[in-house]
Structure 1
Amino acid sequence: MSELRRTHTTSRRGFLALLGGSALLLLPGAAGCSASGSDAEQPVEDHLRVRTDAEPLRKRFTGLGELSDPHWLGYDVDLAGDRVTIPGPDARIRLVGVAQLPKGAVAAVLRDAPPGDLFEPAELPADIPAPLAPHLPERSGWRASTAYDLRVLARDPAQPMSNDQADGQFFLHEGRDLVWFDTLFLET
Protein backbone atom coordinates (compact mmCIF):
# COMPACT_ATOMS: atom_id res chain seq x y z
CA MET A 1 0.00 0.00 0.00
CA SER A 2 2.79 2.44 0.87
CA GLU A 3 4.46 1.65 -2.49
CA LEU A 4 1.23 2.55 -4.32
CA ARG A 5 0.90 5.74 -2.29
CA ARG A 6 4.51 6.76 -3.06
CA THR A 7 3.94 6.23 -6.80
CA HIS A 8 0.72 8.23 -6.67
CA THR A 9 2.47 11.09 -4.82
CA THR A 10 5.36 11.12 -7.27
CA SER A 11 2.98 11.20 -10.22
CA ARG A 12 1.02 14.03 -8.67
CA ARG A 13 4.22 15.98 -7.93
CA GLY A 14 5.42 15.46 -11.49
CA PHE A 15 2.10 16.63 -12.85
CA LEU A 16 2.08 19.73 -10.63
CA ALA A 17 5.67 20.55 -11.60
CA LEU A 18 4.79 20.23 -15.27
CA LEU A 19 1.69 22.37 -14.82
CA GLY A 20 3.61 25.02 -12.87
CA GLY A 21 6.39 25.16 -15.45
CA SER A 22 3.86 25.53 -18.25
CA ALA A 23 2.08 28.31 -16.40
CA LEU A 24 5.32 30.25 -16.09
CA LEU A 25 5.71 30.17 -19.86
CA LEU A 26 2.27 31.71 -20.27
CA LEU A 27 2.87 34.67 -17.98
CA PRO A 28 3.16 37.97 -19.88
CA GLY A 29 6.79 38.88 -20.32
CA ALA A 30 8.12 35.58 -18.93
CA ALA A 31 9.77 34.67 -22.20
CA GLY A 32 12.36 37.10 -23.45
CA CYS A 33 12.84 38.94 -20.15
CA SER A 34 16.36 40.17 -19.71
CA ALA A 35 18.40 40.29 -16.55
CA SER A 36 18.69 44.05 -16.92
CA GLY A 37 14.91 44.51 -17.19
CA SER A 38 15.31 47.01 -20.03
CA ASP A 39 12.11 47.94 -21.87
CA ALA A 40 14.08 48.06 -25.13
CA GLU A 41 14.72 44.34 -24.82
CA GLN A 42 11.08 43.38 -24.16
CA PRO A 43 9.32 41.52 -26.98
CA VAL A 44 7.34 43.68 -29.38
CA GLU A 45 3.66 42.89 -29.89
CA ASP A 46 3.33 41.41 -33.38
CA HIS A 47 0.30 43.51 -34.27
CA LEU A 48 2.32 46.67 -33.62
CA ARG A 49 5.38 45.64 -35.65
CA VAL A 50 5.61 47.79 -38.79
CA ARG A 51 6.35 45.68 -41.83
CA THR A 52 8.16 46.95 -44.92
CA ASP A 53 7.89 43.97 -47.27
CA ALA A 54 5.90 44.76 -50.41
CA GLU A 55 5.21 41.30 -51.84
CA PRO A 56 2.24 40.39 -49.58
CA LEU A 57 0.60 43.70 -50.49
CA ARG A 58 1.25 43.22 -54.21
CA LYS A 59 -0.47 39.83 -54.02
CA ARG A 60 -3.51 41.21 -52.16
CA PHE A 61 -3.88 44.51 -54.00
CA THR A 62 -3.10 43.73 -57.63
CA GLY A 63 -5.44 46.56 -58.67
CA LEU A 64 -3.08 49.15 -57.19
CA GLY A 65 -0.32 48.31 -59.64
CA GLU A 66 3.33 48.48 -58.64
CA LEU A 67 3.94 49.76 -55.12
CA SER A 68 7.10 50.27 -53.14
CA ASP A 69 8.41 51.52 -49.80
CA PRO A 70 5.41 50.25 -47.80
CA HIS A 71 4.95 50.66 -44.07
CA TRP A 72 2.10 48.52 -42.84
CA LEU A 73 0.60 46.36 -40.13
CA GLY A 74 -1.08 43.02 -40.65
CA TYR A 75 -2.82 41.22 -37.80
CA ASP A 76 -5.89 39.32 -36.64
CA VAL A 77 -8.08 42.01 -35.07
CA ASP A 78 -9.63 39.54 -32.64
CA LEU A 79 -6.28 38.38 -31.29
CA ALA A 80 -4.34 41.67 -31.32
CA GLY A 81 -2.45 41.97 -28.06
CA ASP A 82 -3.51 38.54 -26.75
CA ARG A 83 -0.68 36.23 -25.85
CA VAL A 84 -2.65 33.06 -25.26
CA THR A 85 -6.03 32.33 -26.74
CA ILE A 86 -8.03 29.60 -28.37
CA PRO A 87 -8.13 30.23 -32.12
CA GLY A 88 -11.54 30.71 -33.66
CA PRO A 89 -12.75 29.16 -36.90
CA ASP A 90 -12.45 32.44 -38.82
CA ALA A 91 -9.80 35.13 -38.69
CA ARG A 92 -10.41 38.81 -39.44
CA ILE A 93 -7.12 40.10 -40.80
CA ARG A 94 -6.53 43.85 -40.90
CA LEU A 95 -4.00 45.20 -43.38
CA VAL A 96 -3.41 48.90 -42.81
CA GLY A 97 -0.63 51.16 -44.00
CA VAL A 98 0.87 53.43 -46.62
CA ALA A 99 2.86 52.70 -49.78
CA GLN A 100 4.52 54.62 -52.59
CA LEU A 101 3.10 54.32 -56.11
CA PRO A 102 5.12 55.11 -59.27
CA LYS A 103 5.46 58.77 -60.20
CA GLY A 104 2.27 59.99 -61.87
CA ALA A 105 0.28 56.83 -61.01
CA VAL A 106 -2.31 58.62 -58.87
CA ALA A 107 -2.83 61.35 -61.49
CA ALA A 108 -3.39 58.59 -64.08
CA VAL A 109 -5.94 56.80 -61.85
CA LEU A 110 -7.84 60.05 -61.27
CA ARG A 111 -7.71 61.02 -64.96
CA ASP A 112 -8.64 57.59 -66.34
CA ALA A 113 -11.29 56.70 -63.75
CA PRO A 114 -14.45 55.13 -65.21
CA PRO A 115 -17.51 57.40 -65.29
CA GLY A 116 -18.94 55.72 -62.16
CA ASP A 117 -15.90 56.53 -60.02
CA LEU A 118 -16.24 59.72 -58.08
CA PHE A 119 -13.01 60.63 -56.33
CA GLU A 120 -13.87 63.03 -53.54
CA PRO A 121 -11.49 64.91 -51.28
CA ALA A 122 -11.20 62.81 -48.13
CA GLU A 123 -9.56 62.97 -44.75
CA LEU A 124 -7.65 60.00 -43.45
CA PRO A 125 -9.39 58.22 -40.58
CA ALA A 126 -8.69 59.57 -37.11
CA ASP A 127 -7.71 56.14 -35.77
CA ILE A 128 -4.36 55.80 -37.56
CA PRO A 129 -2.33 53.19 -35.64
CA ALA A 130 0.43 54.99 -33.73
CA PRO A 131 3.32 52.97 -35.23
CA LEU A 132 2.28 54.13 -38.73
CA ALA A 133 1.84 57.84 -37.97
CA PRO A 134 5.53 58.70 -38.57
CA HIS A 135 5.29 57.23 -42.08
CA LEU A 136 2.49 59.55 -43.21
CA PRO A 137 4.13 62.70 -44.59
CA GLU A 138 0.79 64.31 -45.43
CA ARG A 139 -2.48 64.34 -43.50
CA SER A 140 -4.37 66.39 -46.09
CA GLY A 141 -4.77 66.28 -49.86
CA TRP A 142 -6.15 62.74 -50.05
CA ARG A 143 -8.92 61.53 -52.38
CA ALA A 144 -11.13 58.47 -52.14
CA SER A 145 -13.78 56.64 -54.16
CA THR A 146 -16.05 53.82 -53.02
CA ALA A 147 -16.12 52.39 -56.55
CA TYR A 148 -12.30 52.40 -56.63
CA ASP A 149 -12.21 50.57 -53.27
CA LEU A 150 -14.46 47.85 -54.66
CA ARG A 151 -12.40 47.57 -57.84
CA VAL A 152 -9.10 47.19 -55.97
CA LEU A 153 -10.63 44.58 -53.66
CA ALA A 154 -12.25 42.65 -56.52
CA ARG A 155 -11.24 39.03 -56.66
CA ASP A 156 -8.67 38.27 -59.35
CA PRO A 157 -8.89 34.54 -60.22
CA ALA A 158 -5.28 34.58 -61.44
CA GLN A 159 -3.97 35.58 -58.01
CA PRO A 160 -3.29 33.12 -55.18
CA MET A 161 -4.80 35.38 -52.51
CA SER A 162 -8.59 35.59 -52.45
CA ASN A 163 -10.39 38.84 -51.75
CA ASP A 164 -13.81 37.16 -51.71
CA GLN A 165 -14.64 38.44 -48.25
CA ALA A 166 -12.86 41.77 -48.01
CA ASP A 167 -13.83 45.28 -47.08
CA GLY A 168 -11.78 48.43 -46.87
CA GLN A 169 -10.80 51.86 -48.08
CA PHE A 170 -8.01 53.23 -50.22
CA PHE A 171 -6.98 56.89 -50.14
CA LEU A 172 -4.81 58.36 -52.89
CA HIS A 173 -2.49 61.37 -52.59
CA GLU A 174 -1.78 62.88 -56.00
CA GLY A 175 1.01 65.24 -54.91
CA ARG A 176 3.10 62.45 -53.39
CA ASP A 177 1.80 59.39 -55.29
CA LEU A 178 0.91 57.61 -52.06
CA VAL A 179 -1.83 55.14 -51.24
CA TRP A 180 -3.20 54.68 -47.72
CA PHE A 181 -5.09 51.43 -47.23
CA ASP A 182 -7.14 50.08 -44.37
CA THR A 183 -8.72 46.73 -45.18
CA LEU A 184 -10.27 43.78 -43.39
CA PHE A 185 -10.19 40.25 -44.80
CA LEU A 186 -12.22 37.33 -43.48
CA GLU A 187 -10.06 34.22 -43.65
CA THR A 188 -12.15 31.06 -43.37
Structure 2
Amino acid sequence: MFYRPAEGHGLPHNPFNAVVTPRPIGWISTRGSNGADNLAPYSFFNAVAYVPPQVMFSSTSAKDDRGDTKDSVANIRETGVFCVNIVEYAARDVMNQTSGPWPKETDEFTDAGIARAACSEIDCARVADAPANLECRVTQIVKLEGAANFAVFGEVVGVHLRDDCLVDGLFDVTRFNPLTRLGYRDYSVVREVFSLTRPGE
Protein backbone atom coordinates (compact mmCIF):
# COMPACT_ATOMS: atom_id res chain seq x y z
CA MET A 1 0.00 0.00 0.00
CA PHE A 2 1.09 3.56 -0.75
CA TYR A 3 -0.79 6.76 0.01
CA ARG A 4 -0.23 10.48 -0.09
CA PRO A 5 -1.29 11.98 3.27
CA ALA A 6 -2.81 15.01 1.55
CA GLU A 7 -5.13 12.66 -0.37
CA GLY A 8 -6.10 10.42 2.56
CA HIS A 9 -5.29 6.81 3.38
CA GLY A 10 -8.67 5.13 3.01
CA LEU A 11 -8.23 3.12 6.21
CA PRO A 12 -10.58 3.14 9.22
CA HIS A 13 -7.97 5.04 11.29
CA ASN A 14 -4.88 7.11 10.50
CA PRO A 15 -1.85 4.74 10.46
CA PHE A 16 0.79 7.49 10.90
CA ASN A 17 1.02 7.25 14.69
CA ALA A 18 1.20 3.45 14.49
CA VAL A 19 4.20 3.67 12.14
CA VAL A 20 6.32 6.03 14.28
CA THR A 21 6.44 3.92 17.44
CA PRO A 22 7.16 3.48 20.23
CA ARG A 23 7.26 7.09 21.34
CA PRO A 24 8.27 8.24 24.84
CA ILE A 25 5.62 10.18 26.74
CA GLY A 26 6.38 13.62 28.09
CA TRP A 27 4.01 14.19 31.01
CA ILE A 28 4.17 17.97 31.01
CA SER A 29 3.38 19.98 34.12
CA THR A 30 2.91 23.73 33.91
CA ARG A 31 1.64 26.54 36.09
CA GLY A 32 -0.37 29.43 34.70
CA SER A 33 0.33 33.04 35.59
CA ASN A 34 -2.72 32.76 37.90
CA GLY A 35 -0.97 30.02 39.91
CA ALA A 36 -3.15 27.14 38.68
CA ASP A 37 -1.34 23.87 37.94
CA ASN A 38 -1.84 21.76 34.82
CA LEU A 39 -0.62 18.27 33.90
CA ALA A 40 -1.00 16.59 30.49
CA PRO A 41 0.74 13.81 28.50
CA TYR A 42 2.30 14.36 25.07
CA SER A 43 3.62 11.53 22.91
CA PHE A 44 5.35 13.83 20.43
CA PHE A 45 8.21 14.22 22.90
CA ASN A 46 11.94 13.56 23.05
CA ALA A 47 15.39 14.69 24.14
CA VAL A 48 17.14 16.66 21.39
CA ALA A 49 20.60 17.71 22.69
CA TYR A 50 23.21 16.84 25.33
CA VAL A 51 25.07 20.11 26.04
CA PRO A 52 23.18 21.91 27.29
CA PRO A 53 20.55 19.21 27.77
CA GLN A 54 17.40 20.05 25.83
CA VAL A 55 14.00 18.46 25.22
CA MET A 56 10.99 19.17 23.06
CA PHE A 57 7.33 18.30 22.85
CA SER A 58 4.65 19.12 20.32
CA SER A 59 1.04 20.07 20.94
CA THR A 60 -1.24 19.33 17.98
CA SER A 61 -4.74 20.46 18.89
CA ALA A 62 -6.62 23.33 20.47
CA LYS A 63 -9.33 23.87 23.08
CA ASP A 64 -12.14 26.40 22.82
CA ASP A 65 -11.08 28.05 26.09
CA ARG A 66 -7.42 28.43 24.95
CA GLY A 67 -7.73 29.83 21.44
CA ASP A 68 -5.10 28.38 19.10
CA THR A 69 -3.63 25.77 21.49
CA LYS A 70 -4.10 23.78 24.71
CA ASP A 71 -3.42 24.49 28.39
CA SER A 72 0.23 23.44 28.43
CA VAL A 73 1.40 25.71 25.63
CA ALA A 74 -0.82 28.55 26.85
CA ASN A 75 0.75 28.35 30.32
CA ILE A 76 4.27 28.10 28.92
CA ARG A 77 3.70 31.23 26.85
CA GLU A 78 2.83 33.04 30.07
CA THR A 79 5.61 31.72 32.32
CA GLY A 80 8.42 30.41 30.12
CA VAL A 81 8.88 27.20 32.13
CA PHE A 82 7.64 23.61 32.26
CA CYS A 83 8.54 20.27 33.82
CA VAL A 84 8.73 16.90 32.06
CA ASN A 85 7.64 14.03 34.29
CA ILE A 86 8.68 10.56 33.12
CA VAL A 87 5.77 8.10 33.02
CA GLU A 88 6.13 4.64 34.50
CA TYR A 89 3.82 1.70 33.80
CA ALA A 90 2.38 1.94 37.31
CA ALA A 91 1.08 5.46 36.52
CA ARG A 92 -0.71 4.51 33.29
CA ASP A 93 -4.24 5.05 34.60
CA VAL A 94 -3.64 8.40 36.30
CA MET A 95 -1.64 9.57 33.28
CA ASN A 96 -4.58 8.66 31.05
CA GLN A 97 -6.95 10.58 33.34
CA THR A 98 -4.89 13.74 32.78
CA SER A 99 -5.24 13.42 28.99
CA GLY A 100 -8.88 14.54 28.95
CA PRO A 101 -10.05 17.82 27.40
CA TRP A 102 -10.77 19.36 30.79
CA PRO A 103 -11.56 23.06 31.29
CA LYS A 104 -8.52 25.26 31.83
CA GLU A 105 -9.49 25.72 35.49
CA THR A 106 -9.07 21.96 36.14
CA ASP A 107 -6.11 20.99 38.29
CA GLU A 108 -5.18 17.55 36.94
CA PHE A 109 -3.01 16.75 39.96
CA THR A 110 -6.09 17.05 42.17
CA ASP A 111 -8.50 15.53 39.66
CA ALA A 112 -6.42 12.37 39.21
CA GLY A 113 -5.18 12.17 42.83
CA ILE A 114 -1.52 12.69 41.89
CA ALA A 115 0.95 13.79 44.55
CA ARG A 116 2.82 16.95 43.63
CA ALA A 117 6.07 18.49 44.77
CA ALA A 118 7.68 21.85 44.08
CA CYS A 119 10.35 22.14 41.43
CA SER A 120 13.75 23.38 42.61
CA GLU A 121 14.78 25.74 39.79
CA ILE A 122 11.48 26.90 38.31
CA ASP A 123 8.07 27.98 39.60
CA CYS A 124 6.17 24.84 38.68
CA ALA A 125 4.79 21.67 40.25
CA ARG A 126 6.15 18.21 39.41
CA VAL A 127 4.84 14.67 39.86
CA ALA A 128 6.31 13.81 43.26
CA ASP A 129 6.83 10.08 42.74
CA ALA A 130 7.76 10.04 39.05
CA PRO A 131 10.94 8.11 38.19
CA ALA A 132 12.47 11.36 36.94
CA ASN A 133 11.54 15.01 36.47
CA LEU A 134 13.21 17.44 34.08
CA GLU A 135 12.78 21.11 35.01
CA CYS A 136 12.93 23.23 31.86
CA ARG A 137 13.19 26.83 30.74
CA VAL A 138 11.75 27.50 27.30
CA THR A 139 14.23 28.29 24.55
CA GLN A 140 11.71 28.61 21.73
CA ILE A 141 8.17 27.83 20.65
CA VAL A 142 7.96 27.00 16.96
CA LYS A 143 4.72 27.23 14.98
CA LEU A 144 4.53 24.17 12.74
CA GLU A 145 2.54 23.72 9.54
CA GLY A 146 -1.14 23.08 10.19
CA ALA A 147 -3.64 24.51 12.61
CA ALA A 148 -2.74 24.39 16.33
CA ASN A 149 0.63 22.62 15.79
CA PHE A 150 3.36 23.97 18.09
CA ALA A 151 6.77 22.53 19.04
CA VAL A 152 8.09 23.67 22.41
CA PHE A 153 11.82 23.45 23.10
CA GLY A 154 13.33 23.81 26.55
CA GLU A 155 16.70 23.67 28.27
CA VAL A 156 16.83 21.27 31.21
CA VAL A 157 17.98 23.29 34.24
CA GLY A 158 17.20 20.77 36.98
CA VAL A 159 16.90 16.97 37.15
CA HIS A 160 15.24 14.85 39.84
CA LEU A 161 15.97 11.09 39.85
CA ARG A 162 14.02 8.75 42.12
CA ASP A 163 16.49 6.99 44.41
CA ASP A 164 15.20 3.47 43.71
CA CYS A 165 15.87 3.96 39.98
CA LEU A 166 19.62 4.43 40.52
CA VAL A 167 21.59 1.17 40.44
CA ASP A 168 25.39 1.17 40.58
CA GLY A 169 25.47 4.77 39.42
CA LEU A 170 23.16 4.19 36.43
CA PHE A 171 19.56 5.29 35.90
CA ASP A 172 17.96 1.87 35.44
CA VAL A 173 14.71 1.92 33.43
CA THR A 174 13.94 -1.68 34.33
CA ARG A 175 13.25 -0.45 37.87
CA PHE A 176 10.14 1.42 36.73
CA ASN A 177 9.25 0.17 33.21
CA PRO A 178 8.75 3.29 31.05
CA LEU A 179 5.36 3.61 29.39
CA THR A 180 5.45 4.31 25.64
CA ARG A 181 2.83 5.37 23.11
CA LEU A 182 1.99 3.33 20.04
CA GLY A 183 -0.78 4.09 17.54
CA TYR A 184 -4.53 4.28 17.95
CA ARG A 185 -5.36 3.54 21.63
CA ASP A 186 -2.32 1.33 22.11
CA TYR A 187 0.58 1.65 24.54
CA SER A 188 3.59 -0.48 25.37
CA VAL A 189 5.95 -0.89 28.29
CA VAL A 190 9.74 -1.35 28.38
CA ARG A 191 10.61 -4.54 30.26
CA GLU A 192 13.53 -5.97 28.30
CA VAL A 193 16.82 -4.11 27.84
CA PHE A 194 19.96 -5.12 25.95
CA SER A 195 23.22 -3.30 25.17
CA LEU A 196 25.15 -2.73 21.93
CA THR A 197 28.63 -1.23 21.61
CA ARG A 198 29.13 1.26 18.78
CA PRO A 199 31.95 0.57 16.33
CA GLY A 200 35.12 2.29 17.45
CA GLU A 201 34.17 2.52 21.13
Q: How high is the TM-score relative to the length of structure 2? A: 0.25
Larger Rg: 1
Greater strand share, structure number: 2
If asked which structure has higher relative contact order (CA below 8 Å, sep 6+), I would say 2
Q: How high is the TM-score relative to the length of structure 1? A: 0.26
